Structure 1
Amino acid sequence: MKHIFIVAALALLTACTQTPDWDYDKSANFSNYKTFAWVENASLTKDTNNYQISGLMEKRVRNAVNNQLSQQLGMQLVDVAQADVLVNYHASVDKELEVDSFNVGYGARWGYWGTGFNHDVSAREYEVGTLVIDIIDRESNQLIWRGAKDGRLKKKQTPSQREAAIKETVANILSNFPPKAQQ
């Protein structure tokens, strides 16, 4: 029983992760990168059949990345041949299990000896989506920066809610591009 509680606690902590994960090449000179383009065969919908990763979602993610790099970072979207860096992205959806275990009561009776505990365990399956954004040095064709974020997917959202969620997620992922502290 102790192991179930530990697994459930770890699953809950993992599901609640709000900080994106970043990695980058410390030898890359990020100040040289002023222009960007998309990898020619970049596709969010390739190799997935989840209904939430659709052409509509792909368009929202591309627009959010373009706006973040252009408006927030001052980079310019250009043709692939003129770009300093190329942008690629990936998305996946995994199923997670949330388990709750708790005592729901304690009782004692008059007239005879005895006590009792009521114990309840419940499990729920939910989907976790992960968005990965890669930045590739066009000249060397080497990955120089990667950011990723995962979160619990919400169903029954309006298109406006989905767009707002994507904008927030992309801004959060790209908040450390270029890396603030190159250590």
Structure 2
Amino acid sequence: MKKLLNFTPMLLLLVILSSCSSVRVAADYDRETNFENYKTFAFFKPGIDKAEINDIDKRRILRAIEAELMAKGYTKSENPDMLVSIFTKSNQRVDIYNNAWGNGAWGWGGYGGWGWRTGWNNNQVSTSTEGVLYIDLINADKKELIWQGSGTGNLEMRNIEKKEARIKEFVSEMLLLFPPEK
């Protein structure tokens, strides 16, 4: 029991740190696909051209994908086994924090003197742009989707280095889920 109590703070810290990830990722795939058959890739230009982001960010995303796939042992090819496409969405996120407390009480009301006062009502509203990046992996012969990853997170970055790091984070977190474990 004592060992369990000694281990609990470390476990709690691990849970807290893992829940603080700023990118939420998910993946879906065709269960009939044997991912061991895929060794090469190329980018699917018609799909990438439709992504509604600027060309600089597209190149950043494609470089990050290429680096991650090559680190996994895949090779870029003119005659690929799979095609890589991307698309994006963005949503305006609105968070409302209600900092009201108390139902009221008798007390000093500043200029109003003594009397019944309600609790402070201090609502705060914050807005941010939340983006979703999708990476599609497509069977090159059949032109069928075999794997799709998505990453969701805050995108507002004015600093170029932070923006590039954020894009790499999106891509690496998503591609941790590829190839899927069966």
TM-score, length of structure 1 as denominator length: 0.77
Superposed displacement of residue 148, structure 1 = 0.3
Distance 1:112 1:54, change over 3 A: closer
Cα separation, 2, equivalents of 1:85 and 1:169: 21
What is the root-mean-square deviation of aligned Cα atoms in Å? Answer: 2.2
In the alignment, what sits opposite 1:169? 170
**What is the CA deviation profile of residues 25-57 of structure 1, one whole-angstrom value per residue up to 9, with x for unaligned ones?**
00000001000011131326x363xxxx31111
Cα separation, 1, equivalents of 2:152 and 2:22: 7
In the alignment, what sits opposite 2:120? 118
What SS does the aligned partner of 1:132 have? strand
Residue number among 62, 81, 86 corresponding to 2:83 in the alignment:
86
Residue number among 114, 131, 134 corresponding to 1:132 in the alignment:
134
The letter for the 1-side match of 2:47 is A
The letter for the 2-side match of 1:153 is L
What SS does the aligned partner of 2:56 have? helix
Contact in 1 for aligned 2:24/2:153 (Cα 8 Å): no
Superposed displacement of residue 112, structure 1 = 6.0
Superposed counterparts of 1:21-170, under 5 Å: 21-43=26-48, 46=50, 48=52, 53-71=53-71, 73-79=72-78, 82-103=79-100, 108-109=106-107, 114-157=116-159, 159-170=160-171
Superposed displacement of residue 94, structure 1 = 1.3
In the alignment, what sits opposite 1:3? none
- What is the total number of aligned residue pairs between the two structures? 157
Cα separation, 2, equivalents of 1:165 and 1:132: 15
5+ long unaligned stretches in structure 1: 1-15
Cα separation, 1, equivalents of 2:96 and 2:172: 31
Cα separation, 1, equivalents of 2:37 and 2:47: 23
Cα separation, 1, equivalents of 2:30 and 2:156: 34
Max radius of gyration: which structure?
Answer: 2
The letter for the 2-side match of 1:32 is N
Superposed displacement of residue 114, structure 1 = 3.0
